[in-house]
Amino acid sequence: MRDGPDRRARWRRARGCTVAALALVVPGIAVAQGTRADYERAERFLATNARPLVVGDAVRPVWLENDRFWYRNTIGAGWEFVLVDPVARTRRPAFDHARLASALSIAADTSYVADRLPFNTFEFADGGRSVRLALDTARGWVCDTDSWLCRPEKPERRPATEVRSPDGRWAAFERAENLWVRNIGTGEDVQLSHDGEADFGYATPPEACCDAVTRVRQRTEKRPILVWSEDSRRIGTYRLDEREVAELHLLETAKGRPVLHSYRYALPGDSVIPRYDVHVFDVTSRAQTRSMKGAQDAVNTSCCWFVADTLWKDAQWGSGSDDFYYTHGQRDFRKFELVHLDLRTGNARTILEETGKTFVELTLVTGGFPNWRVIGGNREVIWFSERDGWGHLYLFDATTGTLKNRITSGPWAVIEIVRVDETARTVFFTAAGREPDRDPYFRHLYRINLDGTGLTLLTPEDADHVVSMSPSGRFLVDTWSRRDRPPVTVLRRPDGAVALELQRADASRYVELAGGWPERFTAKGRDGMTDVHGLLFRPSTFDSTRSYPIIDYVYPGPQTGGIGSRSFNVTPGGNARALAELGFIVMQIDAFGAPLRSKAFHDSYYGNMGDNGIPDHIAVIRQLAARHPYIDPGRVGIYGHSGGGFASTDAILRYPDVFHVAVSTAGNHDNRSYDYSWGEKYQGLLKKNGDGDNFDSQANHLLARNLKGKLLLMYGTLDDNVHPNATLLVVDELIRANKRFDMLVVPNRNHGFAGEPYVVRRTWDYFVEHLLGVEPAAGFVIGLPRG
């Protein structure tokens, strides 16, 4: 039965009525009754319950010598360890699980079973005749696979705060702001730098966004930021200067007096941001070389400073340990230089530079390795650029900085360099959007010659491909899947030929519960011409003759898309499938502004982050409602976390006649209160503009007077990523505008509270109450044992 405009209008007028009245006024509307049974059914689609319903879906190879590898495979209610020999094309158990369980049970005086052995990783020892494993940080065993006797062995302690040299002789670490190394054989500690001081130290991870307070409270430390040369002779690192960076403050709830936490965190427009200069240390001679290129703004090429991990992906050693290469960026992200530091002379020179009118990317993967490699005995550079409007690879002369030739070209985007075969002069890489009539976000593996000839597709299946290549490059493990197709994992040769099928996931139990997969759909974006791609989630009780509210799960990026990877996943973002089970249609899309497509698509709302891609969401909702009569565009909800919290609040305030209910958690509602490197990358450097500045267009609190619908705001009081100040700005203006809204404050939580059972249930309750018009299940607790 189709609902006409008059029926939808009656629903809106009756939204506050009782369930019985609603049933009389709006027959045919599918509403959850708010019972425990409805909530229990939704609960079955949360991660802890849904993931065990799929087996054989994760193959993460641990590579060994001679291209062999093992992986942990889920089977039934347990797991197994599988050993693969690509040369022999064999797949077998890594050891006798039953006998190992028996041997461990005897040795540890406890009881273990074969399909649930008490470890997730292991090592082969004694030439493969033994298995070394750790039960925890204090208890380890070495079990002989001939005699099946286990001897205790204290696990080797490898602190996260130390980085081993490639030859295993040294461990590098930071102590009191200085760089040290430890001789593993003798235990001797050697100090390499001597002038480190508070907030101006060597190899120190930045204190700024996004976990400075969390690390203090959890007593955890990060890996130092450094990179060893392959010959273990030298260490490349930096000296980070945060001395004059302004502080932020958070209060930890406690009995009696609250605890003050202060940490250095730069905001857009601050006159001082973190900066660093590059240093290289010789472990043997203790010599120290500082790059004469000088200090640079603390930005990097794998998105923003806050996602830089301590592998220091923006630096690489050349051939040998006399040549060190790194990228030198500037604060607005519009220019990056590739710098060569010659350790023989101490000279630092710029090889080439990349500039742009908006922001420069050297990888399209947030947190990924930048797509540049120095090859050919330091004579050539493979370089990533979007200079022609698409992400592609180019070959440069590393001595002169001149372009030798393009490697890739076309209306599609290179994602990651997987391997460079310098002997064959080929490069293996993943890319998206090249194959016609496919989801443009599907990743495929390709091989091409460095002169730009011989482009070959190696993973042809119409799916998203996750690839791991063996250290020798002779084999690769390819797992291909889609959101509506469980994973298949195969062993391939470098020409793409399948040598062995390793694993085929079984998701039959999940399908039986869900009644099917999410619908993959395509619609037109705001311009009426450009395709945007999305997912639609329906309840297992779906009835096409009824009418359902639609809820939009939003994450705007722009550093990533709203959906993320297209690989198989039974627990989509925002627990979208679980929410749908309560009687909703839930939608996700990658709107304008998402990466992995053209540069113009990614730049869509550069300088206007208040856009958030919401015009595309509105266009898609209208098209879906026209396409599917069971979708009611008169009852629209939206929710999201972090950037999604920002976007969902923006949506209900900027478009109050489209969005009726919003739940926003940990939103960066005004990026003047958020990390400088993210805001300035996508909004531009903060500049005064009449009575305001160029960040006004993205500030949610300036839209507070527009609120018409129902808004629930949540934040954690110890959020050291998105400061609570961003939410409180909105709250203050809502009060000033005399608006009714709801708020939940979660004490002592950091940024990652959105998945907490109480928060999930409150989100469910809010939509059930305000979109379905019924009372939520009283006192329901997610995670309780069900009879």
What angle, 0 to 180 degrees and rounded to 10, lies between the N-to-C axes of helices 643-654 and 614-627? 70
**pLDDT score for 303:** 54
Residue 521: phi, psi to the nearest 5? -135, 160
What letter represents residue 483's amino acid? R
Q: How many CA atoms lie within 13 A of 242 on its CB side?
A: 22
SS3 state at 706: helix
Find, among 335, 397, 380, 344, the residue nearest to 362 by Cα: 335
Average pLDDT, integer, range 382-397: 98
Residues 590, 441: contact at Cβ < 8 Å?
yes
Residues 274, 239: contact at Cβ < 8 Å?
no
Residues 26, 7: contact at Cβ < 8 Å?
yes
**Structure token pair of residue 363:** 């990888």
Q: Which helix (H) or strand (E) holds 133?
A: strand 130-134
**pLDDT score for 136:** 84
What is d(CA 248, CA 424) in angstroms, rounded to the nearest whole number? 53
**pLDDT score for 784:** 86
What is d(CA 477, CA 470) in angstroms, rounded to the nearest whole number? 8
Average pLDDT, integer, range 572-583: 96
What letter represents residue 339's amino acid? V
Q: Which CATH class is domain 162-370?
A: mainly beta
Residues 366, 414: contact at Cβ < 8 Å?
no
Residues 354, 336: contact at Cβ < 8 Å?
yes
* β-sheet bridge partners, residue 536: 519, 587
What is d(CA 521, CA 523) in angstroms, rounded to the nearest whole number? 7
pLDDT in tens, 497-537: 999 999 999 999 999 999 999 999 999 999 999 999 999 99
Q: Given pLDDT bands bounded at 50, 70 and 90, which one contains residue 35? A: confident
Residues 226, 312: contact at Cβ < 8 Å?
yes
What letter represents residue 251's amino acid? L
What is d(CA 665, CA 674) in angstroms, rounded to the nearest whole number? 15
Whole-number average pLDDT of the chain: 93
Average pLDDT, integer, range 228-236: 97
Q: Given pLDDT bands bounded at 50, 70 and 90, which one contains residue 584? A: very high
SS3 state at 379: coil
Average pLDDT, integer, range 474-483: 97
Residue 592: phi, psi to the nearest 5? -50, 145
Locate the domains of the chain by residue range. 5-53+509-772, 62-152, 162-370
Residue 513: phi, psi to the nearest 5? -70, -45
**pLDDT score for 76:** 83
**Structure token pair of residue 715:** 């934040």
What is d(CA 139, CA 566) in angstroms, rounded to the nearest whole number? 40
Count of all residues that appear for the chain in the document? 787
Whether CATH 3.40.50.1820 fits 5-53+509-772: yes
Q: Of the given ranges (183-192, 281-290, 365-374), which has the lowest mean pLDDT?
A: 365-374
What is d(CA 179, CA 588) in angstroms, rounded to the nearest whole number? 46
Q: 687 vs 312, which has greater pLDDT?
A: 687
E-state strands within 642-750 = 661-665, 688-689, 692-693, 710-716, 742-746
**pLDDT score for 77:** 83
Q: Please determine, for residue 34, whether its predicted confidence score (pLDDT) is greater than 70.
A: no
Same-fold call for 5-53+509-772 versus 162-370: no
* β-sheet bridge partners, residue 363: none
Work out the percent of the chain whose per-residue pLDDT is above 90: 88
**pLDDT score for 787:** 63
C-alpha triplet 257, 258, 260: angle, nearest 5°: 125
Work out the percent of the chain whose per-residue pLDDT is above 70: 94
Average pLDDT, integer, range 18-31: 38
Radius of gyration of the chain (CA): 28
**Structure token pair of residue 692:** 């305001």
Q: Given pLDDT bands bounded at 50, 70 and 90, which one contains residue 13? A: very low
**pLDDT score for 33:** 54
DSSP 114: G
What is d(CA 456, CA 464) in angstroms, rounded to the nearest whole number? 17
Secondary structure (DSSP) of 227-269? EE-TTSSEEEEEEEE-TTPPEEEEEE--SSSPEEEEEE---TT
**pLDDT score for 216:** 93
Residue 403: phi, psi to the nearest 5? -75, 125
SS3 state at 642: coil
Residues 562, 594: contact at Cβ < 8 Å?
yes
Cβ neighbors of 48 (< 8 A, separation 6 or more) are: 783
pLDDT in tens, 186-203: 999 999 999 999 999 999
Q: Which residues of 524-561 are buried (b: 16+ CB within 10 A; e: fewer)?
A: ebbeeebebbbbbbbbbebeeebbbbbbbbbbbbbbbb
Residues 374, 351: contact at Cβ < 8 Å?
no
Residue 350: phi, psi to the nearest 5? -85, 125
What angle, 0 to 180 degrees and rounded to 10, lies between the N-to-C axes of helices 757-767 and 36-43? 130
What is d(CA 297, CA 90) in angstroms, rounded to the nearest whole number? 51
Residue whose entry in the numeric block shows the structure tokens 């990097």: 300
Strands 661-665 and 710-716: parallel
- For residue 668, CA distances in Å to 420, 557, 720, 728, 741 come to 40, 12, 12, 11, 18
* β-sheet bridge partners, residue 636: 550
Strands 403-406 and 348-355: unpaired
Residues 86, 67: contact at Cβ < 8 Å?
yes
DSSP 499: E
